[in-house]
Amino acid sequence: MIFFRTRSGGEPSSLKIRSHVRWFLINMNQQEKIDKLLELSKLAYSQNEVPISCLITYQNKIIATSYNQIEKHNSCFEHAEIIALKKAYEKLNTKNLNDCEIYISLEPCLMCLGAIINSHIKKIYFLCLDNKKGAFSYYNIQPSIDNLEIHYIENKETKELLTNFFKTLRK
């Protein structure tokens, strides 16, 4: 497992796996995916859903996009990752997504990490740590799976969106 982070921002205090942290500069291609995630998170926000989004790429093309829809469906299964995985299965007509990469605005929970691992996706990118439900930073899961790469790319805008959402909710 390898964690990357951007040069901006400090060391995340909850990240326990410091020895795996590497410096990493975002290339433009990745910036486009990050921008898309932000757009999807804002869409979730506008529908009173917790602003969490996900996209899946195949051969560097986006094949599935989604955002959290827990409120809409009254179901704790409707996380952005699960919805995106279902769309990717349909699109590629397969249950093995080993040539795909998944980008998530927030660190995956245990359920979604399990689903991602079962899909055989080998590259996970996420933009924000989840200190309450995150599989890595809260539950300290360190999957020992061959070739599985987990990249944390810190993105302040994503975090701010979540913070604002919960602030507004408390009012």
Least Å from the CB of residue 19 to Zn ion: 26
Least Å from the CB of residue 81 to Zn ion: 5
Least Å from the CB of residue 108 to Zn ion: 5
Closest to Zn ion by CB, 81 or 101:
81
| DSSP letters for 70-137 | HHHHT-TT--HHHHHHHHHHHHHT-S--TTEEEEESS---HHHHHHHHHHT--EEEESS--TTT-TTT
Q: Strand 3-5 relative to strand 21-23: parallel, antiparallel, unpaired?
A: parallel
Q: Which two tokens stand for residue 57?
A: 């790429």
Binding site for Zn ion (CB under 5 A): 79, 109, 112
Measured from each CB, the residue nearest to Zn ion is 112
Considering 49, 81, 101, 107, which one is annotated as catalytic?
A: 81
Residue 157 bears catalytic tag:
no
Closest to Zn ion by CB, 100 or 115:
115
Residue among 93, 69, 76, 81 at smallest CA distance from 124: 81
Closest to Zn ion by CB, 107 or 154:
107
Show which residues are catalytic.
81
